[in-house]
Chains A and B, each alone.
Chain A
Amino acid sequence: MTPSLWLLVIISQAALVGGQIFLKRAMTRREQADPGGWLGTLALGIATMTIWFLLWLGAMHRLDLSQQMPLEGLSPLFIVFGSILFLGERLHWKGWLGIALTSIGVVLVSMS
């Protein structure tokens, strides 16, 4: 992988984490008694996810499926760290075990 390809992958992962956090914030706010501004946050989330989608399509063009899948196996981990940091979510140890197993499974699938 070339440095520019790494950069493409890193920026697309960051956009994915940021976009998902915006979406979750929007949908949480929507449920509150005063949901003001949730549509703006939703739009921000959709815009960030659109950036992610285009960058990811560009990366997909250059990576084999076997290279993409380990990267994708890691993205839930980035999302979990993001939701702990920015949303204050907690995870039971069974949740951590589940994430570890699914990530290992994704790597096994991609190695084959």
Chain B
Amino acid sequence: MHRPVPPVPKPGFFRNPYLQILLTVLLTAAAQILLKLGADASAGDDSAASWLGVAELRSGWTWLGIFACVASFGGWLYALRFIPLGIAFSLTNAVHIFVPLGAWLILGERINLLRGTGIAVIIVGVVFLAQSVAVAEEKL
């Protein structure tokens, strides 16, 4: 089967698609914490609007979270130009490293042994994902 040659990004630190994925991940983690703050602010609401998440829009935290989501979208689209979707999306699992860390720093949630182990396992998984990218690029 004929496969089109994947495009190569122009050189430059900020143009590295993996840096853009990291930025996407950091902004998404920030968005999750902000949206959680927004959801907590409207936790008692069980109206029809709340089923579509419209009730959360009354909280300023939700709007900040939406802003972080939109900002992360730019980096994500850029990365998709150069990285296969399956690998790029799996790398975004690194969000689950930064969400517990942020929840610990900002929401005061504790990181116990189990959670710490989970974070370590995710980091090992991300390393394997990165290696699978290196193998795929060698074959080209």
Q: Which B residues touch A55, using CB under 8 A?
A: 52-53
The 11 listed contacts between A and B (C-beta, < 8 Å) are A24-B85, A61-B42, A76-B86, A79-B90, A91-B132, A98-B129, A98-B132, A105-B121, A105-B124, A108-B117, A110-B118
| CB < 8 Å neighbour of B118 from A30, A57, A98, A108 | A108
A109: nearest chain-B partner, CB-CB: B118
Number of B positions contacting A (CB below 8 A): 58
- Going nearest first, the 9 A-B pairs with the smallest beta carbon separation are A57-B53, A108-B118, A101-B125, A105-B122, A95-B132, A98-B129, A98-B128, A102-B125, A105-B121
Contact with B along A45-80 (1 / 0, CB 8 A): 000000001111110110001000100110110011
Check A21 for interface membership: any CB of B closer than 8 A. yes
Q: Looking at chain A's contact residues, is the secondary structure mostly helix, strand, loop, or mixed? A: helix
Number of A positions contacting B (CB below 8 A): 55
The answer on a CB contact under 8 Å between A80 and B56 is no
Bound-complex Cα distance A12 to B54 (A): 15
Q: Which A residues touch B68, using CB under 8 A?
A: none
Q: If A102-B122, A105-B120 touch, does A89 touch B84 (CB 8 Å cutoff)?
A: yes
Check A103 for interface membership: any CB of B closer than 8 A. yes
The answer on a CB contact under 8 Å between A95 and B90 is yes
